[in-house]
Amino acid sequence: MYQSPIRKPLIEGKKTYRDISDQILAPMINRPKKSWYLGILISGSAMIFGLAMMAWTVWQGIGTWGENRTVGWAFEITTFVWWIGIGHAGTFISAILLLFRQRWRNSINRSAEAMTIFAVICAALFPFIHLGRPLLTFFIFPYPTTRGIWVNFNSPLVWDVFAISTYFTISLIFWYVGLMPDIATLRDKLSRGFKKTVYNFLSFSWKGSARDWHRHEVTSIMLAAIATPLVLSVHSIVSTDFADSILPGWHSTIFPPYFVAGAIFSGFAMVLTLLIIARKTMGLEDFITVEHIESMNKILIATGSIVALAYIAETFMSFYSGVEYEHANLMNRMTGPYRWAYWIMIGCNVVSAQLLWIKKLRTNLMFTFFLSIVINIGMWFERFVIIVVTLHRDFLTSSWTMYKPTIVEYGLIIGTLGIFFTAFLLFIRTFPVISIFEVKSILKVETAAQSNKNIRHE
């Protein structure tokens, strides 16, 4: 298919199909670098610390956390929403960009989708441990109980259960269906041995038959088609955890799409954090080019702007609504004891993201890397501001209190970061980080695009 000559190439260097297989499979076949060992040492330690804190919570009880009667939800649900949000970028890249035919997704969708799965796992830990009696987790699933009662289908918390279970299942299926042909490539590259047997098993006897490819393509597009509304619905349902209440600052009709935009925003930031490092350490700069980084930055500025618009709408409505509690809530956020959290949020989410209008910054990897971390910090604070700052000043002034987090809670956040990065580091050693067959399918067009240098804008 013809491509306008002003488009930049998505693959650099003159490559053959074999080059693509070899370069992408190299990390699975070769020994890991020192940087990988260092990475897994750090993330592994964080993970173990976190798991210890989780065990301590389950053993000793929720009293080990800093929640009190006024601030009943704090760090844990903030981090839960934060992780679910991060997961959304993977599905956005895999599904929505596929439907919009954005070819630059081909080299980043595999790792983004894996990131989604790990993020959802990290998120799902929180409902489990914050139940007080985690062994009774099965209560949240609708099964015929001996007491005759059913789950409260009216509750957004139950909607969460349905949404996150579905999201995890579909993400896993989508990821694995896409992975099968690449596992077959890996299987065929390896010579005899245990590894080969394992990959042979995991490849589901994939043989590259045209009929199978046809079904594979159709299934992928259909999974993308249903995963797209899933991206919207999951984080909307998570937002209804707050929006379905009647608390000022929480009860706001804009929450569903606003949370979804914020989720994609933080998710893309995390993808950038991971891939800027991975492309360097794994030698994949020819596949994840500056063009890819710039495209992801454009999504960042789009979603960041939508989040900013939502802030404007919320701020305006606090005044316009005439509800004195809404007004008080906003004033508290801006000028109250937690104003530092609010202004960190504005600085990290609104101001910093708008810097990406400048092309020089959009194409600068160092800037993008630091910005992506800043954005994720900002997005964590956004949920903190929405949750803790709304709760801590109750309707009764005698209930007003401050929230004091404990070391256990900090440990949980560090722990989930540890789990996430450990899982990702293990992933890059066991499965191809880039979708091999999808990159091969665009090789011809992109190699042709490389020779259009003189026609392009820059």
Partner 1 sequence: MSNHDYIVVYFDDEVPMKQALVRLTEKKERIIDVRTPFPVHGVDRILGMKKTRIPIGGFILGLLGAVLIFVFMSWCFVVSYPLIIGGKPYFAAPSFIPNTFEITVLFAGVSMAFAFLIRSKLKPDIRFRPLDEKITDNMFVILVDVNGGNTTAEKIREILSDIKPVEIRESEVKNNG
Partner 2 sequence: MDEHFIFTKGYRNTLALIVAASLLAALIVILAGNPSASRIWANILLNNQFFLGISLGAAFFIAVHRISMAGWHTVIQRLPEAMTGFIPVAFILMLIIYFGMGSIYEWANPGIHDPVIEGKRAWLNIPFFFIRMVLYFAGWIILVRIMQKNSEKLMTSTDLKYDRNRKLLAGLFLVFYGITVSASSWDWIMSIDAEWFSTIFGWYVFISMFVSALSFIILLAWLLKSRGYLTLLREDHVHDLAILLFSFSIFWAYLWFSQYLLIWYGHLPEETAYFIPRLHRYKVIFGLNVGVNFLVPFFGLVRSQSKKNLDWVAIIAFITLIGHWVDYWLMIMPGAAGESSRIGILEVSTTLLYSGIFVFIVFRYLSQGSLIVKKDPFLEESLDYES
Q: Binding residues for partner 2, per CB under 8 A?
A: 1-7, 99, 228-229, 232-233, 236, 240, 243-246, 251-257, 298, 305-306, 309-310, 312-314, 316-317, 319-323, 357, 457
Choose among 53, 151, 119, 14: nearest CA to 408: 53
Among 6, 52, 63, 214, binds partner 1 (CB under 8 A): 214
Min separation Cβ 210 and partner 2, Å? 18
Q: Examine residue 139 and tell whether it contacts partner 1 (CB under 8 A).
A: no
Residue 52 CA to residue 412 CA, distance in Å, equals 9
Min separation Cβ 108 and partner 2, Å? 17
Which C-beta is closer to partner 2: that of 156 or that of 336? 156
Min separation Cβ 417 and partner 1, Å? 28
Instruction: Provide the terminal-to-terminal Cα distance of the chain, rounded to the nearest Å.
Output: 23
Min separation Cβ 172 and partner 1, Å? 10
Q: Examine residue 285 and tell whether it contacts partner 1 (CB under 8 A).
A: no
Residue 26 CA to residue 190 CA, distance in Å, equals 11
Choose among 164, 124, 116, 199: nearest CA to 423: 116
Choose among 255, 276, 258: nearest CA to 266: 258
Which C-beta is closer to partner 2: that of 141 or that of 357? 357
Residue 403 CA to residue 196 CA, distance in Å, equals 53
Tokens matching residue 418: 């540890």
Which C-beta is closer to partner 2: that of 187 or that of 333? 333
Helix axes 255-281, 210-243, angle to 10 degrees: 130
HEC per residue, 218-266? HHHHHHHHHHHHHHHHHHHHHHHHHHCCCCCCCCCCCHHHHHHHHHHHH
Q: Examine residue 14 and tell whether it contacts partner 1 (CB under 8 A).
A: no
Which C-beta is closer to partner 2: that of 179 or that of 300? 300
Give the phi and the psi of residue 414 in degrees, each rounded to 5.
-60, -40
Q: Examine residue 223 and tell whether it contacts partner 1 (CB under 8 A).
A: yes
Which C-beta is closer to partner 2: that of 23 or that of 295? 295
Binding partner of 298, given partner 1, partner 2, none, CB within 5-8 angstroms per partner class: partner 2
* C-alpha triplet 118, 428, 412: angle, nearest 5°: 35
Binding partner of 313, given partner 2, partner 1, none, CB within 5-8 angstroms per partner class: partner 2
Number of C-beta neighbours around residue 241 at 10 A: 21
Q: Examine residue 53 and tell whether it contacts partner 1 (CB under 8 A).
A: no
- Which residue is associated with the tokens 């906003």? 330
Binding partner of 128, given partner 1, partner 2, none, CB within 5-8 angstroms per partner class: none
Residues at the site binding partner 1, with contacts judged by CB under 8 A: 16-18, 21, 142, 148-150, 152-156, 158-159, 162-163, 165-166, 169-170, 173-174, 177, 180-181, 184-185, 187-189, 197, 200-219, 222-223, 226-227, 229-230, 233, 237, 240, 436-438, 440-441
